[in-house]
Amino acid sequence: ALSTMAVATVTCTAPVNIAVIKYWGKRDNDLILPINSSLSVTLHQDQLKTTTTAAASRDFTEDRLWLNGEEADVGHPRLQACLREVRRLARKRRGSSTEDTAALSLSYKVHIATENNFPTAAGLASSAAGYACLVSTLARLYGVEGELSEVARRGSGSACRSMMGGFVQWQRGERPDGRDSIAEQVAPETHWPELRVLVLVVSGEKKQVGSTAGMQTSVDTSPLLKHRAEVVVPERLALMVQHIRERDFEGFGKLTMQDSNQFHATCLDTFPPIFYLNDISRHIIALVHRFNAHHGCIKVAYTFDAGPNAVIFMLADTVAEFVEVVRRSFPPATNGDQFVRGLPVSSASLPEELLSAVVAEPVPGAVRYILHTKPGPGPQFLDDPSQHLLGADGLPRRTA
């Protein structure tokens, strides 16, 4: 009977990360090894997270996967690579230890359910959070410890950076087998408590060119990308680490914007060219530069990944004013109440000279909403069984 079914269950949450020194281009597509190192900020899971439950039982007849309540293809090559890798590490760990005979049988099939607390369509690095979450969950289920960022990297390159909180560097590594292509924490999220992040979700479509295909075309055709990887990134990375260690927002902000712009320049240098930014993205870029010029220093800094949404860094004391500037520049269409989400934002009144200098012609409805968040920790385990996405029978508790 179902009631006697023995099911081992683990649930974990994992964060989204935003690169400030961008990863674009692989030197090995199978192992997911990058042509350059990168550096990111892990965002807080109260605002953006993936939750994954994995269950294993002798009674399961096949591996199964549910994404946001819908059953999905468990045969996806990258998912299989992670599963294989975790099981391999578990086997290796057991071979070297005598205890633990009660450990989960590696032949048991697994059921995996995963969901995001943000719309996948919003273009918010869901694969990074997703694979970091999958690997953390499976590793705990199989009793594997140690260097897991390398396993997460096999799912999605940027996922290795979501295995840690705060400020994280993905080291390119030198070895052809990728054993040294891992993530390491530069500083924890507590290091810079005043740092804040706004995600401006633009009314958007699904991206035309996926990251995987896009970066391969760039590697094959862009001489600028080659120069970036070999010459520009190594020196920028060292500088960025220094700015973070010193909590130097001016330096951090300027370099973040420059690196975002260079990434999009390499997309333009790809043949045929790739366009991830749209008109609204460019409006936001111009707005940020006008805002900074008005203040005579860098107060806010944008970065864009492979899509039109802006991620904007600032210190806490700038949030209210800048949110009001965005609200004036892109008046919300309808959802005025839900225009600002996430961490609370106090109201601000803008001086007339700032308004006239910074807010150009308003573009109503261009920004769907603003998400206010901050840096946060790495993956977390949920030990309360009521938080599992799978029930005692190993099937989803609720459908989306």
pLDDT tens-digit readout, 116-151:
988 765 667 789 999 999 999 999 999 999 889 999
Cα–Cα distances in angstroms (integers) from residue 117 to residues 13, 67, 121, 159, 305, in the given order: 10, 12, 12, 17, 20
Cα 39 to chain centroid distance, Å, stands at 12
Residue 226 — pLDDT band, cuts 50, 70, 90? very high
Counting residues of the chain whose pLDDT is more than 70, the rounded percentage is 94
| Closest to 166 in 3D by CA, of 149, 140, 148, 184 | 184
- pLDDT tops 90 at residue 263: yes
- pLDDT tops 50 at residue 386: yes
In this structure, what token pair is assigned to residue 42?
A: 């892990």
Residue 400 — pLDDT band, cuts 50, 70, 90? very low
Model confidence, pTM: 0.95
At 21 the pLDDT is: 98
| Closest to 368 in 3D by CA, of 320, 312, 330 | 330
Counting residues of the chain whose pLDDT is more than 90, the rounded percentage is 86
Q: Which residue has tokens 């994280």?
A: 168
CA dihedral 67, 69, 72, 75 (to 10 degrees): 60
10 Å CB burial of residue 203 (0-12, 13-18, 19+) is middle
Q: Which helix (H) or strand (E) holds 168?
A: strand 167-170
Residue 333 — pLDDT band, cuts 50, 70, 90? confident
Instruction: Specify which residues 198 forms β-bridges with.
Output: 312, 372
Query: Which DSSP symbol is given to 165?
Result: S
Which stretch of 121-125, 209-213, 358-362, 394-398 has the lowest confidence by average pLDDT?
121-125
Euclidean distance between CA atoms 149 and 160, whole angstroms: 4
The runs of H, that is alpha helices, within 12-122 are 77-95
pLDDT tens-digit readout, 69-95:
999 999 999 999 999 999 999 999 888
Q: Which residue has tokens 């508790």?
A: 397
At 103 the pLDDT is: 67
Residue 265 — pLDDT band, cuts 50, 70, 90? very high
In this structure, what token pair is assigned to residue 191?
A: 């290091």
pLDDT tens-digit readout, 156-189:
999 999 999 999 999 999 999 999 999 999 999 9
Euclidean distance between CA atoms 265 and 252, whole angstroms: 20
Q: Which residue has tokens 């006239």?
A: 356
Q: How many helices (H) and strands (E) does the chain have?
A: 10, 17
Q: Put the strands of the sheet holding 183-187 in their side by side order.
A: 17-21, 38-42, 167-170, 183-187
Euclidean distance between CA atoms 231 and 77, whole angstroms: 33
294 Cβ contact partners less than 8 Å away, ≥ 6 residues apart = 354, 357, 358
Q: What is the mean pLDDT of residues 27-52?
A: 97
Neighbours of 218 (CB within 10 A): 25
Mean pLDDT of the chain: 93
Using DSSP, state whether 7 is helix, strand or coil. coil
